[in-house]
Amino acid sequence: MRKEKHHKGWNEIKTNDSWAIFKIMGEFVTGYEKLSLIGPCVSIFGSARTREDHPYYQLCVETARQLSQAGYGIITGGGPGIMEAGNRGARLAGGTSVGLNIDLPFEQHNNPYIDEDKSLDFDYFFVRKVMFVKYSQGFVVMPGGFGTLDELFEAITLIQTEKIAKFPIILVGTDFWSGLFEWIKTTMLNAGNISPDDLNLIHLVDTPEEVVGVIDGFYKAHMLSPNF
């Protein structure tokens, strides 16, 4: 009897997994339909825990504002902290402000600076990450935690393995990022785990003007077009 119950339990789990495919497909379809209309955008990443009075928050607001003035929409994870700052800067400049929201414990709530028609909700991290990459013409990475590192290294890996076309990846805040970048340049490179050319994928800057300059400079040499 125990074996039979155990067997039925596994069958139920498999059925639930199969039905989850339709929910995943629904998230992809909704994301593709809405984001295919937004035009050239830059994704901004960083900590949800950064407070409004923190210098990095203010730096992100100004960076997003200047990017919006330069003609780029802003995509963030839709939550508080650096994400809020990115959407806020876009709103200040009257630019496109996109939020890819996901429910997270203790951190996530949608910020008020996202355009109403460009706020999307996701249950699956991997679907959300596809949207960040597919509809961005650049990544601006502010100081953050594990989630920020995850998004940073996924983008680098996809470009390195030529799964997506190259686009600028910009780390903002040399005080915060220089230790990690130095480790990459020495330990990882010296171990032969990356090539010297891989380092050209990453730019370290400190000002909004540098961020805009890197992205504008890249697209003077490469055609600016959607990634789909």
Taking only the tens place, the pLDDT of each residue in 1-48 is 455 455 555 555 555 778 889 999 999 999 999 999 899 999 999 999
- State the pLDDT at residue 8: 53
Closest CA to 71 of 221, 228, 224: 224
226 within some domain:
no
Q: What is the CATH number of the domain that holds 60?
A: 3.40.50.450
Q: What is the pLDDT of residue 228?
A: 43
Compute the mean pLDDT over every residue in the chain, rounded to the nearest whole number.
Answer: 90
For 99-157, what is each residue's pLDDT tens digit? 999 877 665 578 999 999 999 999 999 999 999 999 999 999 999 999 999 999 999 99
Cα(196)–Cα(176) distance, rounded to whole angstroms? 22
**227 inside domain:** no
**pLDDT the model gives residue 19:** 83
Residue 198: pLDDT band with limits 50, 70, 90: confident
**Residue 151 within any structural domain of the chain:** yes
Instruction: Decide if 186 is inside a domain.
Output: yes
pLDDT of residue 1: 47
Range(s) of the domain holding residue 39: 2-221
Name the domain count of the chain: 1
